[in-house]
Amino acid sequence: MATKNKGNTAVRETWESGTRVRADIDTMELVKTGLYADLQAQQPSKGAELVTGYEVESSRLIPRRGLLGELRINLVEKFPDSTTQKPVGSIRSTIEIDMVQLDKPILSLEQFSGYPEMIELWKAGPADLKVKYKYIKDKVVYDMAGGALAAAKLMLKGTDSYLAFNPVISRTSIYKSRPTPADYGKICTPPITVPGDWVYLKTADRITQQADNTYVRTEQWTGADEWSTDLYGSA
């Protein structure tokens, strides 16, 4: 016996549609009813922007009697840079910023870097001249000056290096299917940056299969003042 449909079976939004929740990330729910087959054809893909400023997080199509159905669509607030933060094909992503502590020689600082010869002659001189911040060149004794003098005062106190902090951007993403590593060992732009004139090298792209057959991908970008283009290509 064939199933008969009575009344209006056109796909339409119900009075529940448009429910909004204010939270750290705002959400919205759309509810549609109509013929199951029509709703199935309209069921949106994850990430689709059905409402301005919101993207589809998930959708559920529920069969009802008489070949009818109910489509419930959950949307989440869409941020301007969400498409770059979450890689294509991933279910969700989290991003971490870590300012990594590095020891760098004080002579790499711009204010000290212009006096290599003076500083080397001072370091190689006799102890009695070193404590007076003097050096010998061509058998003539000279007083240190400028940035060389400032560096020598630090070095005489045992300070040969200083602490610098470089950004390391990490992104952890979950996939249903195994993703393909990309751009590792290349100079490229991470999904998010920190203030400063940093150049980033992709230094990690690890993929791990989980017990539930999903995949966890961990990518990492390390920032520096510069990366040599002679050693590393660009993505």
In this predicted structure, the answer to whether residue 217 has a pLDDT above a threshold of 70 is yes
Selected residue with higher pLDDT from 20 and 123:
123
Average pLDDT of the residues in 187-202: 93
The mean pLDDT value for 115-123 works out to 91
Q: So what's the pLDDT on residue 50? A: 87
Distances (CA, A) of 43 to 14, 40, 50, 170: 16, 5, 11, 33
Instruction: Name the pLDDT band for 187 (thresholds 50, 70, 90).
Output: very high
- Is residue 84 very low, low, confident or very high in pLDDT (cuts 50, 70, 90)? low
According to DSSP, the residues that pair with 169 across neighbouring strands are: 97, 221
